[in-house]
Amino acid sequence: MTDMAEKADHKLCREDFTPGPASYSEVYPGLYLGNLSAATDIEWLREAKIDYILTVDSCPIPRQIPELLPNLTIKYIQITDMPREDLLTHFGISYEFINHALESNSRILVHCYLGVSRSATLVIAYLMKKYRKSYCDTFEIVREKRPMIGPNRGFVAQLKLYEDMDFEIDSTSIRFKMYRLQIAADKVRKAKILPQDCMDLVRPDPALATVRPEPTVYRCKKCRRIVASASNILPHAPREKQIWRHISTKRTSKQSKAVHEPLELPKKDEHEPVEFCTKILFVEPMAWMPDITHNVEGKLNCPKCSAKLGSFSWIAGNQCPCGSKIAPAFYLVPSKVDWSNAVQNVQVTV
């Protein structure tokens, strides 16, 4: 080991390892999966006639590579190989980049540092969508061409969620909403505030006038102000630990529809219904909750009458009486709100 490994904290650094010699595998005609050494091997890039490089790593490829190969088109996605990194939201742009290269009859190298986890994840996601195959089947196809691949457990969960969403980002999916909230919670844990790039998670105030108001809303029991719409509810099942983590099922689209009709239950199969818990109402973060962007936890009070409606916690989450532990958690106490299935007069926010 290098001297860096002998520092006081005894933590291994990236510099303690090397990607080794150039390593690459053609996993699909014209589509290569490899390591950083392959992406910097000028002779091999020329010999293999690589015209596109997709880098998914903590650092971009050296500047001299595109300078020496002026016809090279490159794309860089900055991601570390950690299970809680968000690679899922990059599946769309990586698919378009890879597909454009292949449809142009060009050859493309997708690489990370070792060509094992991050780049393998993007290649698997591409082939899953292109051929509408499951994660398990696609993984075996790619591993047959490159036996060393091994996406980390977080990326595997993201690929399975991608499969459940029918190979597209479904912003109405309950699991996708919770997935993004958990990614944001990791950032809040470090910065103690909600970063700007996560502000889109804060949904609009449901009390604002809108062209098509949702028919089902939740109101403060004391003053009747609207505090949530049906689509803001994140249903959970008793004893459920993490909403977004993959469960081997194809019912995500059904759950997405059910969220617009509270307590209408999706089914595991034709015989066994999945009942949602009603002891706590977990909701999306909303614009009427001013403290959630600069506090790790706190109370949720009605913005009109200040009545206490619930609480929030980005890190610790909340334990529902049903045994379900959800983190992060933004929740309303059912006894503090009423729901109605008709919006007669959409009020102006107070």
Alpha carbon separation from 100 to 53, 108, 167 (Å, rounded)? 12, 10, 18
SS3 (DSSP) at 95 = helix
**Start-to-end Cα distance in the chain:** 63
Backbone angles phi, psi at 263, to 5 degrees: 75, 5
Active site annotation includes 112: yes
Helices (H), 173-326: 174-191, 252-258
Nearest-angstrom CA–CA distance, 142 and 148: 10
Name the pairing type of β-strands 281-282 and 337-340.
unpaired
**At a CB cut-off of 8 Å and minimum separation 6, what does 152 contact?**
81, 82, 83, 117
By CB atoms closer than 10 A (0-12, 13-18, 19+), residue 325 is middle
Interhelix angle for 153-164 vs 135-145, to 10°? 130
* Catalytic, out of 13, 59, 112, 220: 112
Question: Cα dihedral angle (242, 90, 154, 179), rounded to 10 degrees?
Answer: -10
Catalytically active residues are 112
